[in-house]
Amino acid sequence: MMNTIASNASTQTSSATTVLPNAQLPSISVPRISCPEPSPSLGESAAVLPPILDLPRPLPLWLDPAYARHIVKGNFMTLSARPKTVDPGEWVAHQVVEHYRNLWNFVRVVHAKEDNGDSICSPSSCPKMSAGENHSYIWLDQDHDPVDLPAYEYMTLMQRWISGKIDDATLFPTHPSSVSYSNHPDYTPSSSSADADSAPRPAPKDEWLGCRSGFPKHFSETAQLIFRQIFRVYAHLYWDHFVTPFYHLNLEKQLNSCFSHFLLTATTLDMLSTDELEPMQYLVDLWAADGTLPQGSRPYLHANLERGRYLMELGRRE
């Protein structure tokens, strides 16, 4: 899936962004989804009363059900759930690397230089690291002072920071001598049927995520920070770059697939709280209503299904 993204971006970005620069967006024929005022007729056709419309105006293209689809079908929870024989720390580390790799394939598209030397995401096009009008993010410098940076610089620093963490063998241990497995409960002898020497030993009182595989105590905290940064970049890509370049490069389904997989993984592993999903809550609502997010998953339980169904109805009326 991600090889397709890389190849599509490399073969199409240059021509597409030259023909369709940001400055020419008003003349581009881009599908739009209208956001009408509540009306009895719309409520009747939707079989629900129109919810309070706190939706952004104009409505972003990624909230149109026709452009919120995926390249694959199925339950992403099966990809997010940890196999029983894999150590929890190893599984989180694997997910960090995989989702970071997926994300950076998309970031490379908006960071690629055009013929004029500028990138799609530049200090002039994105002076702040934002996700819509109500959410912006700051960077902490070496002195832990908040710094307001353009999105391009923010994402560049984020890439260096995450890469440095992943390459740190003390944080992401790779030595084969470290324990990297978890006992399968179906094949682990119980204390009643096994010798004293083979009986499962009680977990130490001071135990943390990945301690049995050599991960340090602060690994979980660092992994949460990485997942949080990944979410912020996804949110920026949706709010500021969904149309150009991803829609014009026919990459919106790949973006949707990777992001929904990321949401389920991050929340399932307690790496991201549902409250942190607020910048993308409208899309969470839509995906919960259309069945993308499995019932019982944390994003689904946190979703506004009424608003999601209303978004689906708006798409049908176009």
Annotated binding-site members for Zn(2+): 121, 126, 236, 241
Phi, psi (rounded to 5 degrees) for 133 = -75, -25
Nearest to 42, CA basis, from 291, 316, 287, 286: 316
Cis peptide before 58 (omega within 30 of 0): yes
Q: Are 156 and 259 in contact (CB under 8 A)?
A: no
How far is Cα of residue 59 from the mean position of the Cα atoms in its chain?
A: 20
What's 33's DSSP letter?
B
Secondary structure of residue 42 in the 3-state scheme: helix
Residues sharing a CB contact under 8 Å with residue 138, sequence separation 6 or more, in sequence order: 129, 146, 147, 148, 149
Between CA 254 and CA 261, with CA 260 as vertex, the angle to 5 degrees is: 90
Residue type, 138: I
Half-sphere exposure of 135 (CA within 13 A, CB side): 18
For residue 141, give both structure tokens. Answer: 């410098």
Nearest to 263, CA basis, from 90, 103, 50: 103
CA-to-CA distance for 31 and 263, rounded, in angstroms? 26
Q: Give the residue ranges of the annotated binding site.
A: 121, 126, 236, 241
For residue 12, give both structure tokens. Answer: 């199409």
Residue spans of alpha helices (H) in 112-218: 151-166
CA-to-CA distance for 154 and 137, rounded, in angstroms? 9
Q: Are 213 and 90 in contact (CB under 8 A)?
A: yes
